[in-house]
Copies of this chain bind each other. A is one copy, B any other.
Amino acid sequence: MKRLLRTLNGEAVWPPPVWLMRQAGRYLPEYRAVRAGVKDFVALCTTPELAAEVTLQPIRRYGFDAAILFSDILILPWALGHGLEFKEGEGPVLPRLRDEAGVAALDPARVAERVAPVMETVRLVRAGLLSEGFADTALIGFAGAPFTVACYMVEGGGSKDFAAVRGMAYAQPALFQRLMDVLTEATIEYLSAQVAAGAEVLMLFDSWAGVLSPSLFRTHCVAPATRIVAALRQRHPGVPIIGFPRLAGMMAREYATTGVNGIGVDTGSDIASVAALVPPHIAVQGNLDPLALVAGGAAMANETRPILDAMRGRPFIFNLGHGIVPQTPPDHVAALLELVRAG
């Protein structure tokens, strides 16, 4: 069994499997070359040959233990018929969903057709990993968690404080729950289709879970993740799921009840403390600061060592605590892999 899958089955594989969030991205010249040839980011995500190519690039360069589908968490709302544009230097821009009509306009029936290119990407990557000899590299499919996707839809993009989405959750709880329900069901179908196309592991990114109060965290992060995990477990019993409730802090303990096989840890958390909060069979994934990777050298080693030392002997996946940043020197990634593989 592949090293990542063994880890997610509860085995303390050592040295640990390693991959990096956003490992296919702008820090790689070969990625920038592909990106330069397409008109926009959505086009890159929905052109299977190109998306598969950029997914495989970091595997060829570094031999990571996992390839993660090149896509974006906002492809699902886009497939539901919600608009999506990526403006240079501004991030995603979406129409602001603020009322019943906005929820009613979402069309789950069209999702399968619109995400068909994503499924083709998954098939191409899986075949590419085999044909290029990466027999131990597992393919991760993913989606944004419903709350994080709702954040972008309600705010109309990123936000400093996510006041509109939190305001809606408090002041219009029934409306917000309907939006969450639509997203939860669509996420189940979307992830299930990725497994059918060849994804071996699934990851649920709840990047903004940390802005929720404890009660909202239970309702809009833990509860939908529980539904999603249960539905996928029933359809695809052998496929492990990693949840990443970013900035959840101690709420990670409650997140562990969702049934996930692995839990992602952000840069600000002491990974040993998070590991102590969750049952020992759940793999912990994280959490080097991407800025330590940019710095490289002693700073990177000093941040990496305590993570490895704390995680030896438990199911653990080495990763960053947040996505790799564009200014990362590719050499530093190679040096990091040496450190991790020395255990």
Contact = CB atoms under 8 A, between A and B. Distances in A.
Contacts of A167: 291, 294-295
Interface stretch (A36-44, A106-114, A205-213): A205-213
Nearest to A268: B210
A217 B302 CA distance: 14
A102 B167 CA distance: 41
Interface string A266-297: 01111101100100000000000101101100
Given A170-B294, A173-B299, A215-B306, A163 B251 contact: no
A81 interface: no
A291 B166 contact: yes
A294 B216 CA distance: 15
Chain A interface secondary structure, helix, strand, loop or mixed? helix
Of A267, A270, A294, most buried by chain B (CB within 10 Å of CB) is A270
Contacts of A87: none
Q: What is the oligomeric copy number? A: 2
Contact of A268 (B173, B247, B271, B291): B247
A95 B213 CA distance: 35
Interface in A23-82: none
A249 interface: yes
A158 interface: yes
**Among A160, A215, A253: residue with most chain B CB under 10 A:** A215
A277 B276 CA distance: 13
A201 B299 CA distance: 38
A220 to B, nearest CB: 12
Contact of A302 (B163, B215, B247, B289): B215
Given A249-B269, A270-B251, A299-B170, A292 B163 contact: no
A325 B159 CA distance: 15
Given A170-B299, A171-B295, A294-B170, A214 B270 contact: yes
Contacts of A158: 160
Nearest to A210: B268
B303 A215 contact: yes
A307 to B, nearest CB: 9
Nearest to A321: B213
A250 B250 contact: yes
A160, A167, A170, A325 — which one has the most chain B CB atoms within 10 A of its CB?
Answer: A170
A250 B267 contact: no
A170 B299 CA distance: 6
Contacts of A274: 250
Interface in A208-236: 210-217
Given A163-B325, A247-B247, A249-B269, 5 more contacts: A166-B289, A167-B291, A212-B268, A214-B306, A253-B273
8 contacts: A163-B291, A163-B325, A167-B291, A167-B294, A170-B303, A213-B267, A214-B268, A248-B268
